[in-house]
Amino acid sequence: MLSTHVANKIAAGEVVERPASVVKELLENALDAEATRVDIIITAGGRKLISVADNGRGMNRDDAILAIERQATSKIKDVDDIEHIATFGFRGEALASIASVARFTLSTRQTADDFGTEVTLIGGKLQDVKDCGCPPGTCIEVRDLFFNVPARRNFLRAYQTEQAYIRNTFLLHAIAHPHVAFTLKCDGDLAYELAPCDTLHDRIMEIAGHEEMDRLLPIEYTLGYVRVFGYAATPAWTRADRIGQRVYINRRPATAPAIINAISEAYPKMEGNRKPILYLFVDLPPEEVDVNVHPTKREVRFRNTKAVRDAVIAAISQTLHSHGTPLPAGAPSHTEGLPPPPSVDVSRISTAFNLPATDMAPVAPPPRPVAPFPFETPSASPFSSASRPHPPVRTDAEDVVINMPSGAPWTQFRIVGRLSPGYVLLETNDGYTVLDPAAAHERVLYERLLGESGAAPYASQQLLIPQTIELTPIDYRRIETILPILHEMGFAIEAFGQTAFIVNALPDILAGTSSEAVLIDTAAAFEEAGSKRGRERWREEIIAKAASRAAVRSRRTLAHAELSAIIVDLAGCTMPYTSPFGRPTMIYTSFRELDRRFGRS
Ligand code: ADP
Ligand code: MG
C-alpha cells in the first residue's frame, strides 16, 4: 500500500504539470462554487506564488479539512453521478495533489458564518487549522510550487514562458464565463481586468478588441441533442498552430479528436495545414460525454461520436456558407471586410532583384556567383545552355520568349500556360518544365531573405502607419524571445505594454504582407525548432516559414508578369530545384526523352 502522502505526490504528477495547471484547477473550483468574481495573483510565473480568490459559496471548517483530502469531492455523491457530471471537478484530487507539492494555504468562509477557516499544509503535511477573518468565498495560496520535487522544478521553463501559459489558461476560462468578473495580476501589474458582461460576444470584445471581433462570424446551430455555438473566422484568418482554436465542451475547455477532425473537414483545405481561428462551444447532455478519460479532463470522449461530428461540421459549414465562403474545399478565399491574405508586391520583388516591374524582358540580374546545381546531371538539366536545339517557339504576344543573360543557368523560357491544379507549364531550350509557382516563389523569397553571405543586414521597409499587434500571451512571449533575431531580419518592432508590439518596419521582401501573420508564424517556427538546433538553424527555419507564408498565394493568383519575374529570379538561386522545405519546384522532361517515348528516335 502506498502512503496517502506518496499517492498524492503521484497524483500531483498527473494533475499538476506546471503552474498553469494549478491556475486551471483553482479557477475551475471557483467557477464550480458559483463565484461571480475571481481574482488571481501570480509572481515569478507562478513559481513563487499563485493566489486565487473567489466570492463563491465557501466552505465550513469540516468541508475545508475534507477538501484537501484525496478523493474528497463534494461533487459526486454516488457512483451514478459519474455518469452525468456537470461540474468541472469531480475527482476530488486536485487540491490534495497541489497541496502535496507546495506550501499551501486555504482560507474560506461561508456567507452565513461570522468567521472563516484557514488550513495550512506544507508538502502535503497538515500544519495548522484555525479560525480566521476573511471575506465570504475562498482564497487559495500556493507558494513555492514543486519545492519538494526538484525534478519537476527543474523542468519548468523561463518564468515568462510559464506566465504566458497562465495567461492563456486564464483567458480560456474567462471567455467561457462572460458573467464572471476576472482579474489577473502578474508580478504586481494588472494584466487583465475583465468586467462581467452579458454575452460571449462582449467578452471576446473585451479581451480581443473590435478588430478581432469584426473578423469573426457567429455560429449557432442545433442538430439533435447537440448545440454548437460561438464564433468562427473565415478561412482567410488562420494560424500555423492550434492556439487560436478554443474549444469548449459543456463550457469546459476541452478537446476531442472528433471535434478537431470535424473542424478541419468543415473548412476548405488550408494551405500548409493552417488552422482557422475559432471559439467553438459544444453543448450536449452530460451523460453523452465521458470526461473521465484523462486526469486533467482536457480530452473527452463522446458516447455517439458521429452525432457530435455531424453537428460541428454542419454548424461551421453553415456559418461559412452563409457568409459567402465557397464550399466545399477549394482555394482559401477571403470575404469582404477582411484584410486580404498576405501577398507579395511583385514590384518590390523585382526591385529587390534590380528588375523593372513592368517589363519582364531580359535585364541583367544582379551579379551572382553561379553556384553548382546539386541535382543537375547533364541529361536532366532543364535549362542547360550547352545545347539548344530548339529555341522555344513563339506563338502570340502573351507568350513572350524570355532570353536570360549570359551567366544565368538557363538561356530561354516561355510560359506556355497554366494547368488547372495550379502548375505552370514552361517550354525551355530543350524540353518542357512543369513548375510549382508557390514552391518556386518560396525558394526565391527564401534565398533573398537569407542573404547571400548570411551576414548582410536586411533592408527594411518602413510602414506608412506603424501597426500595433495585439497577441495571445504565448505568441507575445515567443516573439519577445526572438526580438534580436527579428531586428537582424529587418523588422523594426518594439514591445508595447504587456500584450502588444508595435511594428514600424518589415524586411523589404515581406512588405505588403500581414506583419501579424508573419510574426506569429515566425515565432511558432522558432518555438518548434526549439533549443535543439543552433541560432543559425533557427534563423533559416524562420526565414523559410516566412517565405512560405508570403508565397502561399502564388499557386493561383500570380499574374503573368509576376510569374516571369519569379522564374527569372529562380535562375539566380543557389538551389533552384527545391523549395526551402525540400519540395520540388519543377519537374523537367527533355524533348529527347519525349522523342524516345514516342519512338521518333
Ligand atoms: P474536485 O474539484 O474534483 O471536487 P478538488 O480537489 O478540486 O476536487 O476540490 C475538492 C473539494 O473542495 C471540492 O469538491 C469542493 O467541495 C471544495 N472546494 C474546492 N475549491 C473550492 C472553492 N473555491 N469554493 C468552494 N469549495 C471548494
Ligand atoms: Mg477541482
Ligand number nearest to the C-alpha of 94: 1
Q: Give the CB-side neighbour count of residue 274, counting CA atoms within 13 A.
A: 26
Length of the chain: 601
pLDDT digits (tens, 9 = 90+) for 11-24: 565 568 889 999 99
Distance (angstroms) between ligand 1 centre and the Cα of 50 equals: 17
Residue whose C-alpha is closest to residue 165's, from 30, 311, 29, 45: 45
Ligand number nearest to the C-alpha of 98: 1
What is the rounded distance in angstroms from the CA atom of residue 248 to the CA atom of residue 300? 11
Determine whether the shortest distance from the Cβ of 67 to ligand 1 is under 6 A.
yes
Which of the four pLDDT bands, split at 50, 70 and 90, describes residue 204?
very high
Task: Answer whether 4-198 and 215-331 agree in fold.
Answer: no
| CA terminus-to-terminus distance, the chain | 84
The answer to whether the CB of 68 falls within 8 A of the CB of 119 is yes
More confident residue, 599 or 73: 599
Find all residues with CB under 8 Å of 218, minimum gap 6, and list them: 201, 229, 230, 231, 319
Average of per-residue pLDDT across 486-492:
81
Radius of gyration of the chain (CA): 29
What is the rounded distance in angstroms from the CA atom of residue 525 to the CA atom of residue 535? 12
Determine whether the shortest distance from the Cβ of 29 to ligand 1 is under 6 A.
yes
Average of per-residue pLDDT across 214-240:
89
Residue whose C-alpha is closest to residue 54's, from 143, 139, 177: 139
What is the rounded distance in angstroms from the CA atom of residue 401 to the CA atom of residue 238? 39
Determine whether the shortest distance from the Cβ of 508 to ligand 1 is under 6 A.
no
The answer to whether the CB of 368 falls within 8 A of the CB of 573 is no
Ligand number nearest to the C-alpha of 110: 1
User: From atom 7 of ligand 1, which residue's Cα is the shortest distance away?
Assistant: 94
Distance (angstroms) between ligand 1 centre and the Cα of 32 equals: 8
3-state SS, residue 290: strand
User: From atom 17 of ligand 1, which residue's Cα is the shortest distance away?
Assistant: 67
Phi-psi label, residue 248: left if phi above 0, alpha if psi -120 to 50, beta otherwise: beta
> Does an H or E element contain 37, and which?
strand 37-43
* 87 Cα nearest atom in ligand 1: 2
Residue 170: pLDDT over 70: yes
Counting residues of the chain whose pLDDT is more than 70, the rounded percentage is 71
Average of per-residue pLDDT across 323-345:
38
Select from 3.40.50.2300, 3.30.70.20, 3.30.565.10, 3.40.50.300 the CATH code of 4-198. Answer: 3.30.565.10
Q: Note the pLDDT of residue 510.
A: 66
Determine whether the shortest distance from the Cβ of 116 to ligand 1 is under 6 A.
no
Average of per-residue pLDDT across 546-570:
73
Hey, how many other C-beta atoms are within 10 angstroms of the C-beta on 41?
A: 19
Which of the four pLDDT bands, split at 50, 70 and 90, describes residue 453?
very low
215-331 maps to CATH 2.60.120.380: no
Q: Note the pLDDT of residue 73.
A: 55
Determine whether the shortest distance from the Cβ of 33 to ligand 1 is under 6 A.
yes
More confident residue, 401 or 18: 18
Residue type, 444: V
Residue 527: pLDDT over 50: yes
Q: Note the pLDDT of residue 530.
A: 53
Give me the helix-helix angle, 515-529 and 473-481, nearest 10°.
70
Q: Where are the domains of the chain?
A: 4-198, 215-331, 377-601
Q: Note the pLDDT of residue 458.
A: 61
Average of per-residue pLDDT across 13-42:
91
Distance (angstroms) between ligand 1 centre and the Cα of 200 equals: 26
What are the beta bridge partners of residue 179?
A: none
HEC string for 51-112: EEEECCCCCCHHHHHHHCCCCCCCCCCCHHHHHCCCCCCCCCCHHHHHHHCCEEEEEEECCC
pLDDT digits (tens, 9 = 90+) for 405-441: 555 556 778 888 888 788 899 888 788 889 988 888 8
Average of per-residue pLDDT across 287-305:
79
Residue 145: pLDDT over 80: yes
The C-alpha angle with vertex 294 and arms to 250 and 82, in degrees rounded to 5, equals: 60
Assign a CATH topology to domain 377-601.
Ribosomal Protein S8; Chain: A, domain 1 (3.30.1370)
Q: In what order do the strands lie in the sheet with 401-403?
A: 401-403, 412-418, 424-428, 431-435, 586-590
Determine whether the shortest distance from the Cβ of 74 to ligand 1 is under 6 A.
yes
Q: Note the pLDDT of residue 482.
A: 81
Q: Note the pLDDT of residue 11.
A: 57
